[in-house]
Structure 1
Amino acid sequence: MRRLLCAVGGAAAVAGCLAGLLSLGPRHETHPGAAAPQAAAAPGAADLALATARERTERYPREAAVWSDLARAEVEQARVTLDASRLDAADKALRTSLALREKDNYAAVTGQGLVANARHEFAEGRDFGLRATRMAPDRADGYAVLADAQIQLGDYPAARAAVQRLLDIAPAGAAYSRAAYDLETNGRPADAAIALQRAVDSASTADERAFAEARLGDLAWSRGAVDRAERHYRLALDAVPGHPYGEAGLARVSASRGDTAKALGMYRELTGRTPLPQFLAEAVELGGGARVRSETAALDAQVRLLRASGGAVDPHLALYVADHGDPDVAVELMRGEWKRARSVIVADALGWALHRAGHDSEAVGYARRAARTGWDNALFRYHRGAIERALGLPEGPRHLREALALNPHFSPYHAPLARRLLKPT
């Protein structure tokens, strides 16, 4: 479906394309790290893919392509298990692939881009993406790497161009998911939902279908549509039992309906398998106190390890530290991440950390940078409103009200605080 993003909707679509916006007729990253949209496989699927890739290298050790495939499987395993050593294993596999085929090794170059992006070395990821797209302008993987890097670097027009090219070449799940992220980030949730439905319809694997359904759930959740969100989360779990984002979504739904004990049980089971900062932090915000002692300990351990070793910072982890730990540490973490990534998600997290540390005059600039794309994100609106209110700015209450109007359940911890801030003093 060539030029899909600029082909639907008549005059309005043309105007949108001229303005540089995708037209279709958008992590967290999932606050979103989301960061770049990637299919979230269940751990069992990642294990199987890795075992298969290793077996192929044993059978065909002189084939460069099988080593590149192994590298991709190692990257996926790193993402699912949070085991950073898997990225070292991916590097080793890519070196082997390049030793076997030094020139025109497209799969190895795109693999290097995947590893760089996974390490939050987004400038390098962009370089590998550009190299891959120059090497093979009509192959899709390089544009996916490039789009993900440009998103994290905050160059949204360049990311949009890469996504458009990806759609031109391969109008399938990976392209539609990235298009949805761009559309959502630019304040166009209805168009993002269309793109995600096309990702569902074009999914070639259960993992792709589950990812797209979970993202549809997140999109509905972000608009306060709890019942619709639940339907999509259940469809994600129908496609891939145990899908982590589907399970997290259902825990969120249970919490919004007042069943805190059930939600905490779901989070505990999920984080036992997939201890992502997002899931751990959501459990802490819901439970508080002794009920989430293990989740708090896991997050604190991740913070200590990160401060000792350096490296990529998940904004969810920094937000947890800002709200439930030492805000100065959160500022330290996010200033380091800002050197690597300039996405609106990173801007929001840095702004909030600065606010919690008492630096509101600096914080408000980052909160406004987080709003520059027009994303209707309730957490962003809340953060900005709270910072502006602390500064005595008149627009603060309006942004707090907008956050609650978008999604009254946006956070079990912060939504009540937003209501409290709006009460007359």
Structure 2
Amino acid sequence: MWRRIIAVGVTAAALLGLGGTFGAGPEPWTAESAYAQGDPLVESIEQAQARLRDVPGDWTTWAALGSAYVERARITGDPGYYTRAEGALRESLRLHPGPSSTDPAGKEPEAVGSGTASGADTGTVGETGGGTVGNDAALVGLGALANARHDFALAERLARQAIAGNPFSADAYGVLTDALTQLGRPAEATEAAQRMLDLRPGLPALSRAAYDLEQHGRVEEAHALWTQALATAIAPADLAFVHHQLGDLAWHGGDLAAARAAYEAGPAADAGYLPLRHGLARVDAAGGRTAEALAGYAALTAASPTPSLLVEHALLLRSLGRAAEPEAQLALAQAALDLLAAGGGADDLAAAELALARGDHATAVRLAAGEWQRRRHTDVADTLAWALHQAGRHREALPLACAAAALGARSALHAYHLGMIELALGDRAAARRDLARALRLNPHFSPVDAPAAARALASAGA
């Protein structure tokens, strides 16, 4: 059944996170929030640390600890875990690099997290003279970390090394799928995702299939698959994740009631899952519950001050006519990007979005164009198109805006950007079509852009 459902390319479900500091041994764990107490992931980290205090040469536990740091960072949004995750994973490879291999801990350590997202060759980790690799768990963890740091070319190489050593690693195919998707190679991503489904048709593989269906505009099938995935979820975090995805699907379709129902169902499984709070804040803002929305965003940005979330909060404040508050959020977004860079990561797409929010169109074009050279993803195409449009370069923007819509995703934001570019070029008929499509898909898609779309549609003669 799953083979029939994912007959199209698979796009990553963006499940990967961030990483902190590594010394001679594991550092004491301190829970960041009250709901972390009793969290299975936190407990697994504490157990791994205790094990490594007693048996510091246990390379399998070092690999598990490093991967747990990556997952913990995804949940908390704390970039302080970058170096900690990398250190644990490299210690695993140092202890067990694989048969007849060189010591990976001393081989080009800058390769992981160096910010070389351009795809330039930064070497391999733990490669043997005969092309066989050992310790695929550590390589998979490093690949996930590379994806989180947006070094997708490196993530692809690490995933392929892991697969060379263990062709039956479903996790390696997951990392490979995510990397290939972000690099703009959907046919290869489809093949990798299919192999992952063949090996282990669980929630990680199903989530990629469902997300891909959504990206290709097959929303009804995506909803059916997410509903099937909900039946496979057991852990509280997995249940919360699927409810969040169902909520997002409803949100992007403009169904506020269904989105709220899904977002509110998630906390029963995991009250600390932050993306559910994000969904509720967006629904509150769209439904006119301004006080609740502002409180939700304030709590979110305090708990997880990621650049994109801070920019979104700033745009909501700006739409309400607030004065200095939006600028304060944008300053925090810049600080978050700086912190990300200090941890070895980079996110030029988020940096371009921040530049657009600040009205710095030239910087937005430069950042988005650099990202487009590294990877041909639809979100990058859309951001670059919008930056070019804002800079007055409408003809250059149009083919990129069309490329952003090429997969068929039902994105109100992409449709709005395309319509505004068409309007600027004088194609009023095309502009009316795409602006109307944006508002039909989700009339609440942005507190700033949705009203602008309605005004532009009226001016275009709708």
| TM norm structure 1 | 0.87
Name the structure 2 match of 1:33: none
Partner of residue 155 from structure 1, selected from 182, 185, 188: 185
**For residues 154 and 411 of structure 1, do their structure 2 counterparts lie closer, same or farther at Cα, with a shift above 3 Å needed?**
same
Aligned CA-pair RMSD: 2.5
Q: 1:326-405, aligned counterparts within 5 Å?
A: 326-393=360-427, 394-405=429-440
Q: Determine if the alignment matches structure 1 residue 272 to structure 2 residue 302.
A: yes
**For residues 107 and 344 of structure 1, do their structure 2 counterparts lie closer, same or farther at Cα, with a shift above 3 Å needed?**
same
Report the more deviating stretch, 80-89 or 103-112: 80-89
Counterpart CA distance in 2 for 1:374 and 1:278 is 24
Write out per-residue CA displacement over residues 98-147 of structure 1, whole angstroms, 9 at most, x where no aligned residue: 12111121101111211211111111111122222232222211110001
Q: Determine if the alignment matches structure 1 residue 204 to structure 2 residue 234.
A: yes
Give how far 1:316 is off: 4.4
Counterpart CA distance in 2 for 1:310 and 1:86 is 11
Name the structure 2 match of 1:247: 277
Counterpart CA distance in 1 for 2:70 and 2:15 is 14
**For residues 336 and 49 of structure 1, do their structure 2 counterparts lie closer, same or farther at Cα, with a shift above 3 Å needed?**
farther
Question: Is the CA contact (8 Å cut-off) linking 1:50 and 1:77 kept in structure 2?
Answer: no
Counterpart CA distance in 1 for 2:336 and 2:387 is 17
Give how far 1:271 is off: 0.8
Counterpart CA distance in 1 for 2:416 and 2:344 is 29
Name the structure 2 match of 1:89: 84
Write out per-residue CA displacement over residues 173-232 of structure 1, whole angstroms, 9 at most, x where no aligned residue: 111111111111111111111221222211131111111110110001000111111111
One-letter code aligned to 2:158: F
Partner of residue 256 from structure 1, selected from 276, 286, 292: 286
Name the structure 1 match of 2:123: none
Counterpart CA distance in 1 for 2:248 and 2:331 is 27
Question: Is the CA contact (8 Å cut-off) linking 1:313 and 1:334 kept in structure 2?
Answer: no
Give how far 1:74 is off: 2.1
Q: How many residues align?
A: 402
**For residues 97 and 21 of structure 1, do their structure 2 counterparts lie closer, same or farther at Cα, with a shift above 3 Å needed?**
closer
Name the structure 1 match of 2:122: none
Question: Is the CA contact (8 Å cut-off) linking 1:120 and 1:341 kept in structure 2?
Answer: no
Give how far 1:397 is off: 2.1
Question: Is the CA contact (8 Å cut-off) linking 1:37 and 1:178 kept in structure 2?
Answer: no
Question: Is the CA contact (8 Å cut-off) linking 2:282 and 2:293 kept in structure 1?
Answer: yes
Counterpart CA distance in 2 for 1:80 and 1:351 is 31
Q: Determine if the alignment matches structure 1 residue 5 to structure 2 residue 8.
A: no
One-letter code aligned to 2:226: L
Question: Is the CA contact (8 Å cut-off) linking 1:173 and 1:198 kept in structure 2?
Answer: no
Report the more deviating stretch, 274-283 or 293-302: 293-302
**For residues 177 and 299 of structure 1, do their structure 2 counterparts lie closer, same or farther at Cα, with a shift above 3 Å needed?**
same
Name the structure 2 match of 1:65: 60
| TM norm structure 2 | 0.81
Report the more deviating stretch, 48-57 or 63-72: 48-57
Report the more deviating stretch, 179-188 or 159-168: 159-168
**For residues 123 and 245 of structure 1, do their structure 2 counterparts lie closer, same or farther at Cα, with a shift above 3 Å needed?**
same
Give how far 1:376 is off: 0.9
**For residues 310 and 401 of structure 1, do their structure 2 counterparts lie closer, same or farther at Cα, with a shift above 3 Å needed?**
farther
Give how far 1:243 is off: 1.4
Task: Among all aligned residue pairs of Structure 1 and Structure 2, give the percentage whose two residues are the same amino acid.
Answer: 40
Q: Determine if the alignment matches structure 1 residue 416 to structure 2 residue 427.
A: no
Counterpart CA distance in 2 for 1:317 and 1:277 is 8
Q: Secondary structure at the match of 1:395?
A: helix
One-letter code aligned to 1:403: A
Name the structure 1 match of 2:50: 55
When you count helix as a share of all residues, which structure comes out higher? 1
| Structure number with bigger Rg | 2
Counterpart CA distance in 1 for 2:161 and 2:344 is 28
Question: Is the CA contact (8 Å cut-off) linking 2:252 and 2:445 kept in structure 1?
Answer: yes
The runs of 5 or more residues in structure 1 that have no matched partner are 9-15, 30-35
Q: Secondary structure at the match of 1:279?
A: helix
Give how far 1:305 is off: 6.1
